[in-house]
């Protein structure tokens, strides 16, 4: 005779299945337990039961709350049933394949080049297993605008990604160029101490004439970098880069033009779509990610990852820096972690003893040394590639790579 058994959850059901195999039945409700000899009735399904239980334990073997519940009901089992449960659990754990480390992709500066971005994205998609690509964490390291001709199309592409790849996690960092763009559109929150943006002009006032800061509509309460970004620099040739500036010291003229307005025009505020304004307003200044795996000389290492456009400053408390970055405090007229150079190149000393990856773009050169990753090969210039790095493999992918589909 077969009995219909009710149980409070699947854990209890699996205990019942073990007891069936060993010749006993257990109703998994603590305090209400009885046994029934039914070895012959259920012997025919022993192999199925064992397979079902093994599958269950493979899925849940690492969950402490399940361990506790199984331990709780084990006290009510006959000894042979408890032994069977432990043997099956141990076998399942030893046979279960270890999960692959999740894929994290860090994309360097794009700077208005939509063709490079699309080619890079295609190369990434063709370089990674499809299921891993579709569930990857993709961190864009900032500087989406300026220099290249297609800022508008670049932002269109980026805002479409969550819809096109809903299983991916997308992180969009703010670069120094993006911060200046957002400042001109008046998208930045005022300093946390309540001071006006104009307070920040004073420190750099000696540069105003040479850089031709913006003095058009709305400049009176504009963050310094917005004025510099939209200005007209007097000396047109950039001696360091051996080419002409494009409008301003930020090379912002192509961004204005991509929205159909001349460089330095206040009409840009109206020309930028609301969706793009929201994208710029929501950019994060820093991103932290736990349990990121990376291949090292000592094997695969589980790390914390900190992503910030330029880097973290040497000689300053890391926790305090992260606090200010998370708050997106505009009190400082120049945010060193978004625009610094030598002072943010290395990993801060206090992080060197920990397993912390610091990844950035910004610097116009590739640098992969230990856990310090700088992924920017100068993609803002026509003859330079846009690059990305894949973790944990540390494989570099460029828009110029020829990767078969």
Q: Which of 32, 63, 111, 177 is catalytic?
A: 177
Cα 353 to Cα 78: distance, rounded to the nearest angstrom: 51
Q: Is 287:139 a contact under the CB 8 Å cutoff?
A: yes
- Catalytic annotation on 170? no
Q: Is 160:138 a contact under the CB 8 Å cutoff?
A: no
* Residues in Cβ contact with 395 at an 8 Å cutoff, skipping those fewer than 6 apart: 127, 389
Which CB contacts under 8 angstroms, 24+ apart, belong to 361-364?
361/108, 361/109, 361/141, 361/142, 361/143, 361/175, 361/309, 361/310, 362/109, 362/141, 362/142, 362/143, 362/175, 362/176, 362/309, 362/310, 362/311, 362/338, 363/310
Relative to beta strand 372-374, strand 367-369 is: antiparallel
Coil, helix or strand at residue 198: helix
Q: Active-site residues: which are they? A: 177
């Amino acid at each position: 005779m077969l009995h219909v058994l009710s149980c409070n959850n699947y854990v209890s059901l699996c205990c019942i299945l073990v007891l069936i195999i060993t010749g006993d039945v257990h109703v998994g409700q603590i305090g209400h337990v009885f046994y029934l000899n039914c070895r012959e009735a259920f012997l025919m399904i022993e192999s199925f039961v064992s397979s079902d239980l093994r599958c269950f334990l493979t899925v849940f073997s690492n969950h402490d709350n399940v361990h506790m519940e199984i331990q709780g009901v084990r006290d009510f089992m006959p000894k042979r049933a408890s032994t069977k449960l432990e043997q099956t659990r141990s076998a399942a754990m030893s046979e279960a394949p270890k999960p692959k480390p999740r894929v994290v992709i860090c994309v360097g500066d794009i700077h208005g080049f939509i063709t490079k971005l699309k080619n890079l994205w295609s190369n990434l998609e063709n370089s990674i297993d499809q299921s891993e690509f579709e569930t990857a964490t993709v961190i864009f390291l900032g500087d989406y605008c300026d220099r290249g001709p297609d800022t508008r199309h670049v932002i269109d592409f980026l805002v479409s990604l969550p819809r096109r790849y809903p299983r991916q996690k997308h992180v969009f960092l703010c670069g120094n160029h993006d911060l200046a763009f957002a400042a001109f559109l008046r998208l930045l929150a005022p300093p946390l101490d309540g001071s006006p943006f104009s307070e920040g002009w004073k420190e750099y006032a000696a540069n105003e004439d040479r850089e031709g800061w913006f003095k058009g509509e709305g400049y009176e309460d504009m963050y310094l970098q917005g004025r510099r970004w939209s200005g007209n620099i007097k000396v047109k040739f950039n001696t360091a880069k051996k080419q002409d500036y494009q409008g301003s010291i930020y090379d912002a003229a192509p961004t204005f033009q991509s929205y159909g307005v001349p460089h330095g025009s206040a009409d840009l505020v109206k020309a930028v779509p609301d969706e793009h304004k929201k994208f710029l307003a929501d950019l994060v200044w820093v991103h932290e990610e736990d349990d990121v795996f990376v291949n090292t000389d000592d094997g695969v290492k589980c790390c914390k990852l900190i992503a910030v456009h330029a880097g973290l400053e040497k000689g300053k408390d890391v926790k305090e820096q992260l606090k200010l970055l998370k708050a997106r405090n505009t009190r400082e007229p120049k945010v060193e972690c978004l625009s610094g150079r030598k002072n943010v190149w290395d990993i801060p000393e206090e992080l060197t003893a920990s397993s912390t990856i610091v990844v950035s773009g910004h610097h116009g050169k590739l640098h992969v040394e230990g856990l310090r990753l700088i992924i920017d090969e100068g993609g803002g210039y026509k003859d330079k590639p846009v690059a990305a790095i894949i973790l944990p493999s540390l494989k570099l992918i460029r828009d110029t790579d020829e990767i078969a589909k």
